[in-house]
Structure 1
Amino acid sequence: MYKLYTRAGSGGFVIEAALKIAGVPFEQIEVPKRAEPDPEFLKISPMNQVPVLVLPDGHAVPETAAICILLGELHPNAGLGPVAGEPGRADFLRWLAFMTSSVYMANLRYYYPHRSTTDTAGIEAVKKAAIIEMDKEISVLDRALAGRDWLVGDSRTIADIYMLMLVCWYPGLDKLPTWPNVQRVCARLRADPMLAALNDPHEMWAA
């Protein structure tokens, strides 16, 4: 059985969704925030970050996008995303990599600006720059969704749910810039009963 180490409000949201879409059983283990890292948890997550997925063979996999890709390969018929050799695979990898390296990182710079500067006077500048980056990067996704129902191919993939999570983390969710295509897809995802139920502990969007 899979073991998912996670906490509310984390990237574990998209991994929980992937596991439920795949229809596989998993044990969910809540990792509380601690002043001092748990030495045992550091063995499976050297950066002391969630989510971490422990495979049935005991191998631990951190990094949200890596887990998404791996689950898609382990459960190729679940609809998590195209696997190697299938149409849309290149776009699937592209968008996951883009969101991880760009949108996700800008989000972290906003919420944890002290990690990006040693000058406390520069905190607000880091946050402002992070919002500018998020605006630019989510606009790229919005243009990619023009005339499309989903980011990849003709059906929902875990990349769309990953996008939903990142958009919900945007500072001031009630004052989003004008992203009609992103907002259209996110509205459809929020209406999904499974995702709505997952949102309850994560509280990423209003009920």
Structure 2
Amino acid sequence: MILYGAAASGSVAVEAALTLLDIPFELIEGETWSSEAARARVGTQNAMRQVPTLLLPNGETLTESAAILVHLADAHPAAGLAPRLDDPMRGQFLRWMFFVSSAIYSLHWIKPDVGRIGAPPSARDDVVNAVHERIAFCWQAMDAQIQPAPYLLGGRLGVLDLYVAVVSRFGPWRERFYAEAPNMARAIRLVDDDRRLQELWARRF
């Protein structure tokens, strides 16, 4: 597999899943938000010029972090990184994976260039603050509906835990996440402390 990714980005969740699955992969750095060269590099595989972008051994390209994580978990069911199709928790798993993707992670696309939503550059601070408030509200809403035991969906670490562990490091950052989502915070601290991921977290964050 070939993964186009970048440090401190959503692609780190994919790196974490591949690490837990013990799947070797080639990492091509693509910090697309700050480098035209990286945008061009990633653009050869993903017209949106975004990371993560994953090239499978059969030549297929996968984009969108949530989709990649669900695919990896489903392709390796023995690892237990996601509820199986007949598991009663499957619906909630999909619900929260795509909630994080659409309600939280997607908002970060606004921050590098507030003109993307029609705001003038002079309004950037106000827009970013509003984005962070909305993200904090979404973490709070999710936290009110999840009861970790001890991970987000039960007794095993899964790709939802990895996804939240990565996205919660973005603005408004972990301190606010801990304050707004104390239930989930307990689970995410377990993910942070997982010995299999220590080297990855230190290197990519």
TM-score over 0.5 (shorter chain)? yes
Q: In the aligned structure 2, how far is the partner of 1:84 from the partner of 1:147?
A: 20
State the secondary structure of the residue aligned to 2:125: helix
In the TM superposition, residue 5 of structure 1 has moved relative to its aligned partner by 1.2
Question: Which residue of the partner structure matches residue 17 of structure 2?
Answer: 18
Q: In the aligned structure 2, how far is the partner of 1:108 from the partner of 1:185?
A: 26
Instruction: Map Cα deviations across residues 78-107 of structure 1 (whole Å, 9 max, x no partner).
Output: 121023222311111100000000111233
**CA 1:148–1:60 in 2, change beyond 3 Å: closer, same or farther?**
same
In the TM superposition, residue 28 of structure 1 has moved relative to its aligned partner by 1.7
Moved more, 130-139 or 23-32: 23-32
Would the aligned equivalents of 1:107 and 1:134 in 2 still touch at CA under 8 Å?
A: no
In the TM superposition, residue 193 of structure 1 has moved relative to its aligned partner by 1.8
Would the aligned equivalents of 2:136 and 2:172 in 1 still touch at CA under 8 Å?
A: no
Structure 2 unaligned residues grouped into runs of 5+: none
Question: Which residue of the partner structure matches residue 150 of structure 1?
Answer: 151
Q: In the aligned structure 2, how far is the partner of 1:103 from the partner of 1:95?
A: 11
Question: Which residue of the partner structure matches residue 95 of structure 1?
Answer: 96
**CA 1:54–1:119 in 2, change beyond 3 Å: closer, same or farther?**
same
State the secondary structure of the residue aligned to 2:166: helix
Structure 1 unaligned residues grouped into runs of 5+: none
Question: Which residue of the partner structure matches residue 4 of structure 1?
Answer: 3
In the TM superposition, residue 112 of structure 1 has moved relative to its aligned partner by 4.3
The amino acid of 1:130's aligned partner reads V
Q: In the aligned structure 2, how far is the partner of 1:68 from the partner of 1:147?
A: 20
In the TM superposition, residue 25 of structure 1 has moved relative to its aligned partner by 1.9
Q: How many residues align?
A: 202
Question: Which residue of the partner structure matches residue 190 of structure 1?
Answer: 192
TM-score using structure 2 length: 0.87
**CA 1:100–1:193 in 2, change beyond 3 Å: closer, same or farther?**
same
**CA 1:83–1:44 in 2, change beyond 3 Å: closer, same or farther?**
farther
Would the aligned equivalents of 1:18 and 1:68 in 2 still touch at CA under 8 Å?
A: yes
Instruction: Map Cα deviations across residues 1-58 of structure 1 (whole Å, 9 max, x no partner).
Output: x111111111111101111222222222222542256556323111111111111101
Map of 1:135-174 to 2, 5 A cutoff? 135-146=136-147, 148-174=149-175
TM-score using structure 1 length: 0.87
Q: In the aligned structure 2, how far is the partner of 1:59 from the partner of 1:190?
A: 31
Q: In the aligned structure 2, how far is the partner of 1:37 from the partner of 1:189?
A: 30
Would the aligned equivalents of 1:110 and 1:131 in 2 still touch at CA under 8 Å?
A: no
Q: In the aligned structure 2, how far is the partner of 1:161 from the partner of 1:99?
A: 11
Q: In the aligned structure 2, how far is the partner of 1:37 from the partner of 1:187?
A: 32
In the TM superposition, residue 143 of structure 1 has moved relative to its aligned partner by 1.5
In the TM superposition, residue 147 of structure 1 has moved relative to its aligned partner by 5.8
The amino acid of 1:11's aligned partner reads G
In the TM superposition, residue 160 of structure 1 has moved relative to its aligned partner by 0.9
